[in-house]
Structure 1
Amino acid sequence: MTTLAARPTPARNRSGARTGRRVAVTAGAALVLLLAVLASFALGSRQLGVGAVWHALVAPDGSDASTIVRELRMPRTALGLAVGLALAVAGVLFQALTRNPLAEPRILGISAGASFGVVLAISVFGVGTLAGYVWFGIAGALVAGLLVFAIASRAREGASPVTLALVGAALDASLASGVYALLSIDARTFEEYRFWVVGGLAGRDLGVTAQVLPFVLVGLLLAALVARGLDALALGDDVARGLGHRIGLVRLGGGLAAVLLTGAAVAAAGPVAFVGLAVPHLARALVGADHRWTLAVSALLGPALLLGADVVGRLVAPPGEIPAGIITALIGAPLLAVLVRRARVVTA
């Protein structure tokens, strides 16, 4: 007696092929990030070979190459990894929570809150170090995020995507006015703020990365926990409820993750543009709308983009350099123009 093996269904074949493609894309993104890290260690006003970089990392000998790698390039590479990851993942969360393809870490006033906290640190408390800015920046971002969600929740329709965006825009404008007012009355504050606000990785030591890393890790964990809920939210609130998701908890967890990630990134590196806007779009184009895969690929491509911009900034005007925030803004302006023409805010 012979038996016939069950043939795979077309749907199963398509699902397997899609998963295989996503795994391949994720592996490719990891390779791109690895190359960006290597370039960050090797390239700058002084070029170093791969062998010299490796020797400086595993067997430092006090040479110029070891000093350059360990004292200058290692701290900014580590910070670039943390900040790029945080901004990209926060961008995915903001776009999912607001159902707005143009959403990015500035849309809910979070970046403005961090900026206001830094200005207060300089002008009122006399803080003059980047390590000191971090705590005030994170606190400002958290307060701004709480205000946005508290005010939006009191609206008749609750904290809907449109309400969150409107309240965030209003808070962003208000905090920006406060920042400009403080800067206009204190020249010293303006001089110190000017260095921070352009956004970049230079001048930060490993202590800054150590300060923000716990916030980044907690935000990343929360983002992973709400990934399935974000998929349901994309179908609308009613459908998400019907699928058994508690949309209030999903929005709260996703919002808290986005605030922690944005606050940590902006406090450490300044308001770096473009990463949180463009990387989620690129990730969705590569792996589709499943937020588990979008978050994973964004977490790899975000730091790769930021480190790449930092390397370009070092190479275009040696021995000086252009901050990474300016490079990302130059790259992002044309893309933003394209997105504005094609964007559509989806409301439930």
Structure 2
Amino acid sequence: MDEMTRLRELRADAPVPDRAGLAPGRERLTDAIAGNGGRRTLALRLRPMLRDWRIASLGAVVAVTAAALVITQVVGTSAPAPSAPATVVGDLDLSSPAAALNRAADHLERQEVPPEPRADQWIYTREVDAQQAQQWEELPEAIRKKIPMAYSPDQWVPYDDKAAENDASDTDYRTARESYRIAAALPEDPEALLARLREVFPTGSGPDGAPEAKDEHSFRALAVLLESYPIPPDALARIYRAMATVGGVKVTDHLIRDASGREVIAVTRKYDESDSRREILIDPVDYSYAGNRDVVTRTHEVPAPEGLAPIVQKRGEVLIDIARTHAAVVDAKGQKP
């Protein structure tokens, strides 16, 4: 047994602080601070090289040059242990998407809208993605050199990125400044808001993939924008109210553990043509975007290249597990708040 395994087992029975119990008091406190709700969590789409939002792990990128290596890795093991089921947790009502998301929207509408970042500023984010980190570490050095990126939990992108704005090759990717202005201009009416996002983030056709049905398209478009920074709080409120109206959207009736160990709200929707679901994770205190997961909904086999055994994905297995733990506007690349 290695030292890290021993260390994890030594602390396995250590209690985790209950964020749900702290949420009501923290929310009242942050509402009183400076009149603007305290924490301002930033969101950002960090993966312009990934052409499909559903391909979120590095393994999918690496597959182009190392398919045999990546296909043999079992991505994820089992879902993190959730908190005890409870439809009402503290002041949170998780009985339905409307109950949870409309409460989040009510909170966000009370927050002061911060100024738009300056054109010369940068967006810093840090994300916990143990699966991606492990895949990167296990890659042979020769393959790493062929990949046009290196894995790092810390990322910086310029707020004003004119070169990326002019690149139309990825229909999902928008720069930080584009995302801010798209979000700020979204209409109040949920149906009109969803129609606008389906226009901004079009569905596939032909070689780009099969077209999505309306509700799946809407949920994907919402998920893409929620990864972005900046999103003003009033715009985020409109986004959450619209999300609650999308067909097939559910909310887990208890807080779940994200990749960093935090307790978060999970808003979910099963993929129409897949045995898995996408989960959008939301902080239960300030209702900011907290990450995303893909979870298997039915045990099934995934075909493998000829000569390799198929991979069995079990119900509850977490395929993608990303937690955004830090985000800020900074004045220079490499700077941390």
Q: What is the TM-score normalised by the length of structure 2?
A: 0.25
Higher share in helix: 1
Higher share in strand: 2
Larger relative CO (CA 8 A, sep 6+): 1 or 2?
1
